[in-house]
Structure 1
Amino acid sequence: MHSAAVTAEGDRIRWVELPGRDPARVYVHGLGATSPAYFTATAVHPLLAGHRSLLVDLLGHGHSDRPTSFAYTLEDHADALATALRAAGVTGAEVVAHSMGGSVAVVLAARHPDLVSRLVLADANLDPLPRTPGASGSSGIAAYTEREFVSGGWREVRDRAGAHWWSTMRLAGLEALHRSATHLVRGTTPTMRELLLTLPVRRAFLYPEADGPFPGAAELTTSGVTLTAIPDCGHNLMLDNPEAFARAVAEALV
C-alpha cells in the first residue's frame, strides 16, 4: 500500500501497487467502489500482468482519506489523482477506469495530458443524468440533499444497492459519496463525451453487450474511439465476465 498527500490539508490518496515495467497502468474504480476489489484480477491476468500497476482509491473512497472539506467535483477528483500520480513518479500511464472513474479519467487526460498515454473506459458516464428519487446509483443518491442523505437517506441507498455494492460503498464517506454522485450526474462543461471526442490519445470504450447499440457510437468511432461490447455482463464488466474483460483491455492496450 502506497499513499500521497493530495490536498493542502494533507488528505491522502492510497493505492495498491504491483511492481513491473513501464508504462505504468492506473486502475480507477467507480462510485462507491474501491480499485483493489474491482481490478486486482484484471491487473494480474496473464494477458496484462508484468506492468507496474497502481490500483488507486479516489479521495473519499476505499482506503483513501474521506475529508468533508473536499468538494468532490470530477475536476477535483482528477486533480487529486494527478497529484498522487506525480508523487508516484508516473507519466504517460495507461489508464483503465470504470463508471465514475472513467469520467474522472477523461477529465484527468484533458487537464493533465502528460499523465495519460492511453485510455480504456469501462461503461463510463459520458453524459449528464437526471436526479431520480428511488433510482439506484448516482441518480438516486443525487436526488437527496446532502443533509437528507447524511442524516439517513444513505440507509435507503444501502438497501437499494444490495450487499455486493454496499460491501465497498460502506467504506466511502457519506459526504464524499453524495457530492461525488451529485457532480457525476451534473457532469462537466464541456461534457465528458465532448472531452473524450477530442482527446489526442488512444481511447477504447467497453460496454455490456446486453445494453444494445451504444449511444453516439458513430461519432465516437469517427473520432477514433474503439468500441467493444462485452458479452454476459452487466455494469460491473470486470466482475461479471473477467476473462472477456481482460481480453478486451489487453487488445485495447496493444
Structure 2
Amino acid sequence: MKSLRLETEQANLGYHDLPGSGLPLVFIHGLGGASSCDYPTVAADPALTGRRMLLVDLLGSGFSDRPTDFGYTIDLHARTIVQLVGHLGFQSIDLFGHSMGGAVAIAAARLLGNRVQHLVLSEPNLAPGGGIFSRGIAETPEADYVARGHDDLVRKFAGVEDGTWAASLAVSAPYAVHRGASSLVAGSSPTWGEQLYALPMPRTLIFGSRTLPHPDAEGLPRDGVNIEIVPDAGHSMPWDNPVGLASAIGRAIA
C-alpha cells in the first residue's frame, strides 16, 4: 500500500498502485466502501490485467487517514484525487467511480479536463437527494449517527449477502460516512448529471441487471453517454459479478 501526504488536509491518502502499461486506470469506491477491498478481484480479471491501476481509498475509508476536521464532501474528495494524479505526474488517465465514487469521479473529471481519456461510472449519484442508504444516514444528526447509528448500520448489514460492505463500513470513520451521505443528499449545482453531460471525453454508465429498469439507463444515451449492463448483478457489482464488471470496464476504456 502506498500513500500520498495531502498537505492541505494534513492526512495520508492510501492507494494500491498495481504495475502495468497503458493509461493508468483509477478506481474510486462508494460510500462506506474502500477500493483496496472492493476492486482487487476486478483488477485481477483478464479483461483488465496488464494495465496500471490505482485502487484509491478515499479519506475516512480503508487504509487512508480519517481527519476529524475534513468536510468529506464530494468536491473535497475530488480534489484529493486531482492531487494524487498531479503527484504521480499522470498526463492522461482513465477514471472509474462507483455510486458516491461516481459523483466524485465526475467532479474530478471536471477539474482534470482533457487529462481524463475515458470516464466510467457504475450506478453513480447524478442528482441531489442521495440513495436509500445515504438518505437514512443523513436524516440522523451527525452526533447521533457517530454515537449509535453507525454501529447499528454495521450490525444491520453484517448478515446481508457476504457482509463485505458491512466490514468496510465498520472500519470507515462514522463522521466521514455521515458527511459523505449528507453531501450526496445536498447535491451540487450544476448537478453531477449536468456536469456529466457537459464533459467532452467518452463516458460510460454501467448498471447491474437487477437494478433495471433505471431512468438513467433510458435517458442518458440521448446525451451521448454509453450504457453497459452487468448481468446477474445489483448495485454491489464488484461482489455480485466481478468478472462482468471487469468486462464492462474493459469495453468502456478499449
Give the TM-score normalised by the residue count of structure 1.
Answer: 0.93
Say what the alpha-carbon RMSD is for the aligned residues: 1.6
1:225 aligns with 2:217: no
1:157 aligns with 2:141: no
In the aligned structure 2, how far is the partner of 1:145 from the partner of 1:111? 31
The Cα of 1:175 is off from its aligned counterpart by 1.1
* 1:25 equivalent in structure 2: 25
The Cα of 1:122 is off from its aligned counterpart by 1.0
Q: Secondary structure at the match of 1:15?
A: strand
Q: CA deviation digits over 1:224-249, x for unaligned, max 9? A: 11112222111111210122211111
Structure 2's unaligned 5+ residue stretches are none
* 1:184 equivalent in structure 2: 184
* 2:126 equivalent in structure 1: 126
* 1:138 equivalent in structure 2: 134
1:1-254 pair list within 5 angstroms: 1-129=1-129, 137-162=133-158, 163-254=163-254
The Cα of 1:6 is off from its aligned counterpart by 2.0
The Cα of 1:130 is off from its aligned counterpart by 5.9
Structure 1's unaligned 5+ residue stretches are none
**Paired positions, count:** 250
Q: Secondary structure at the match of 1:112?
A: helix
Letter in 2 for 1:228: E
Letter in 2 for 1:92: S
The Cα of 1:79 is off from its aligned counterpart by 0.4
Letter in 1 for 2:48: L
The Cα of 1:218 is off from its aligned counterpart by 4.8
The Cα of 1:152 is off from its aligned counterpart by 1.4
Q: Secondary structure at the match of 2:120?
A: strand
Give the TM-score normalised by the residue count of structure 2.
Answer: 0.93
In the aligned structure 1, how far is the partner of 2:101 from the partner of 2:11? 19
The Cα of 1:138 is off from its aligned counterpart by 1.2
